[in-house]
Amino acid sequence: MAEPAALSGPEAGVAGLAVRLRGVTKVYDSGVAALGPLDLEVRQGEFVSLLGPSGCGKSTALRLIAGLNAPTSGTVGVARRGDRARAGHAIGFVFQEPTLMPWTTVRENVRLPLRLSGTPPREANARVDEAVAQVGLSEFARALPRELSGGMKMRVSLARALVTDPDILLMDEPFAALDEITRFRLNNDLLSLWRNLRKTVIFVTHSVFESVFLSQRVIVMTARPGRIGAEIAIDATEPRGEDFRTSTEYAGFCRRVSQALAPSYPRQTDL
C-alpha cells in the first residue's frame, strides 16, 4: 500500500490543511486515464463534495487520498496528528456499499479497526459503544447485518469509520443506493455529526441536491479523465435543517451547481 506523504512544514498546522493533492493523475493498468491532473486543497474541518458524472474519477480521487491506490504521478498529502500510532487511524472510509462482515454482529463490525490496531479491550468497548450510539443503533448492537435495513447497514459502516476518531472522513457515494427518504434522514444525521465532531469530510456524490445540502464547498468534476470543472462555495445560513432543504436559498445553490455541471454531461453517444 502506498503511504500518502504527510503534510509537512508550515502548511500542515498553520494553513490548517487536511488534504492537498498536487498534479495528481491516475492511469489504470488497462491504459484508461481516470484522473487528472488534479489539484485540490481541503481545509481542516471542511465539508467538501466531489460532484460529477459516473466515471469521472471521483472515487479514484478518494481511493488515492485514502492510500488504497497509488497515484501515477503527483503528490497526495494528508495531515496527521502527531500522536497517531498508525497511519490508518487518521482516515475513516465509507464505501458505496455497507461493506460489512456478514458473519458477525454490528458491534464486532464496528470494532474491527480497533481490533486490527490492537486497542485494549476495555478502551475498545467504550469506543464501540460510543460510535454505535452516535449513529443511533445502540438497540441493534447485537444484530447481524442481514437483519438490518439498507439505511441501518450504512449507519454501521459510518460508525465503523468513526470508531477510530479519524481526522478525515472519506465517503464514496455512501447513500447512493438508498431510497430518498432514508437518504434525507442520513444527510441530516451526517450534518449534525459533522457539526458536533468537526471532522474533515470529503464526500463523493452524483447528486446535485445532496452535495448542496451537505457541503461548504462543491467541487464539480468533468468527465474522464476527471479534472476540476468548477468550485462553488455553499455559504448558506447555518445550521442547515429541513427548512434549508425547501428554501429558495437552497434552490438557488442547486441551480448554480447544476449549471456548472452541464458542460460535463456525457455526450449522448456515450450513454
Partner 1 sequence: MSSLQEPSIAEQVVPDRGRLGAVRILLPVVVLAAAIAAWSLVVRINHIPPYVLPGPGAVFRTLISDWPILSRSLEITLQTTVEGFAAAAVGGIALALLFNQSKWVEYSLFPYAVILQVTPVIAIAPLLLIYLPQQTAVIACAWIVGFFPVLSNTTLGLNSVDRNLAGLFRLYGASRIQTLRFLKLPAALPYILGGLRIAGGLSLIGAVVAEIAAGSAGAGSGLAYRIAESGYRLNIPRMFAALLLLSVAGIVIYGLLALTSHLALRRWHESAVGKEN
What are the residues binding partner 1 (CB under 8 A)? 1, 63, 66-68, 86-89, 91, 93, 95, 97, 99, 101-104, 112-113, 115-117, 133-138, 143-149, 151-152, 155, 164, 185, 189, 192-193
* Spatial distance between the Cα atoms of 105 and 115, rounded to a whole number of angstroms: 14
Closer residue to partner 1 in complex, CB, 37/67: 67
Closer residue to partner 1 in complex, CB, 119/264: 119
Q: How far is the CB of 191 from partner 1 (least distance, A)?
A: 10
Closer residue to partner 1 in complex, CB, 4/229: 4
Q: Is the peptide bond before 239 cis (omega within 30 degrees of 0)?
A: yes
Indicate the angle between helix axes 150-162 and 180-197, nearest 10 degrees.
Answer: 20
Q: How far is the CB of 206 from partner 1 (least distance, A)?
A: 18
Can you tell me whether residue 8 is helix, strand or coil?
coil
Q: How far is CA 97 from CA 83, 165, 270, in A?
A: 31, 21, 26
Beta bridge partners of 202: 48, 170
Q: How far is the CB of 13 from partner 1 (least distance, A)?
A: 24
| Helix or strand (DSSP H, E) at 20 | strand 17-27
| Helix or strand (DSSP H, E) at 176 | none
* Spatial distance between the Cα atoms of 126 and 163, rounded to a whole number of angstroms: 10
Closer residue to partner 1 in complex, CB, 114/223: 114
Closer residue to partner 1 in complex, CB, 158/208: 158
Q: How far is the CB of 76 from partner 1 (least distance, A)?
A: 14
| Helix or strand (DSSP H, E) at 37 | strand 33-43
Closer residue to partner 1 in complex, CB, 47/253: 47
Closer residue to partner 1 in complex, CB, 28/103: 103
Q: How far is the CB of 258 from partner 1 (least distance, A)?
A: 29
Q: Where are the alpha helices (DSSP H) in the chain?
A: 10-13, 58-66, 106-117, 121-134, 150-162, 180-197, 208-214, 242-245, 248-261
Q: How far is the CB of 195 from partner 1 (least distance, A)?
A: 11
Q: How far is the CB of 87 from partner 1 (least distance, A)?
A: 7
DSSP 31: S
